[in-house]
Amino acid sequence: MRELEPFFAALRATPAKTATSRLLNTADRDLGALLRYAEESEVQEVLVLLSEAKRERIVAEIGRMRRVRLPPETIGRIARHLAAHLGGDRSLGPASRYFKPAT
């Protein structure tokens, strides 16, 4: 999904140690919302950076997000927010406060 590109570009450009730290400090809902639309290889690219507990929560959140429809512009907004979270000089708050699922 094209909307995910900013997040994965930032993830790949961020050193693994920093990416792990930022991802552990990311809201589960935000990661679940993005990874729900990602290819399995991309999901694994993120999960490998997480602790076991966070990995389990993200897998569960992806399952919950499969029951939620999010428009592409919302996915893009979350991806851009998390890209800034990964690449910035400080971590940001959750992006999920900026979106509401489509009904």
Using CA atoms, how far residue 60 sits from 23, 38, 54, 100, in Å, is: 16, 15, 10, 19
Q: Is it the case that residue 98 has pLDDT exceeding 60?
A: no
**Least confident segment among 17-26, 47-56, 88-97:** 88-97
What's the CATH code, domain 2-98? 1.10.220
Percentage above 90 pLDDT, the chain: 72
Q: What is the mean pLDDT of residues 61-76?
A: 91
Distance CA 11, CA 19 (A): 7
> What pLDDT, on the 0 to 100 scale, is given for residue 45?
96
Q: Is it the case that residue 35 has pLDDT exceeding 90?
A: yes
pTM (predicted TM-score): 0.85
